[in-house]
A and B are shown apart, each in its own frame.
Chain A
Amino acid sequence: EIVLTQSPATLSLSPGERATLSCRASQSVSHLAWYQQKPGQAPRLLIYNTSNRATGIPARFSGGGSGTDFTLTISSPEPEDFAVYFCQQRSGWPPSFTFGPGTKVEIK
């Protein structure tokens, strides 16, 4: 099973301060996705296939990377962006899906 590791565990920043979240895979993956989750809510898809924004996601969210190292960037976080972010990948056959442990983005 491919293990995803996210860093940092917590990211403290001010609104408008650029945020860069990291997701590292234990072996090479073709693509991955990023999700945002706020307290008491279901996750929401932000980015899929590494760099494609999901429907309705603002342009301040961008994804990149390849192989084992991927990033989610929030160019200028708004107050509503303070949440937990998970990365996720699918691999193998039969299919297996794994999530990273999450990065909490909090207001400094």
Chain B
Amino acid sequence: QVQLVESGGGVVQPGRSLRLSCEASGFSFSNYGMHWVRQVTGKGLEWVAIIWSDGSQAYYRDSVTGRFTVSRDNSKNTLYLQMDSLRVEDTAVYYCARALEHHRYFDAWGQGILVTVSS
């Protein structure tokens, strides 16, 4: 079955960096675009980034552009999110999600990983 498992979260001070990983199994990872989506505890969902299946294109929400970088290693079935210059407002649960229908939707999700940015 499709499985996505995030790791790498934790507590970090403002201005520092963190790298999240998402290990995929149960499907042909290299055939799918992948997203990162975040959710502030008890709040709504916010799309963060998308990367094409071959890694050739990546796009970000405005508030993370220039600070976050999405990448992937198809040989390791793993998706990454490098987060630099973290801000308090980046505190959230981060989900990786598989893209469906020309990248329009999110059809499989990881369990989520908490990132807390606090001094």
Contacts and interface: CB of A to CB of B under 8 A. Distances in A.
Interface residues of B, number: 21
Interface of B is mostly: strand
Contacts of B45: 35, 43, 86, 88, 99
B109 interface: yes
Nearest to B33: A95
A33 interface: yes
Nearest to B108: A45
Nearest to B57: A94
B95 A31 contact: no
B59 A42 contact: no
Contacts of B111: 41-42
Interface of B: 35, 44-47, 50, 59, 61, 95, 100-101, 103-112
13 contacts: A31-B104, A33-B105, A42-B110, A43-B106, A43-B109, A45-B106, A45-B108, A48-B107, A49-B104, A54-B107, A88-B45, A88-B106, A100-B44
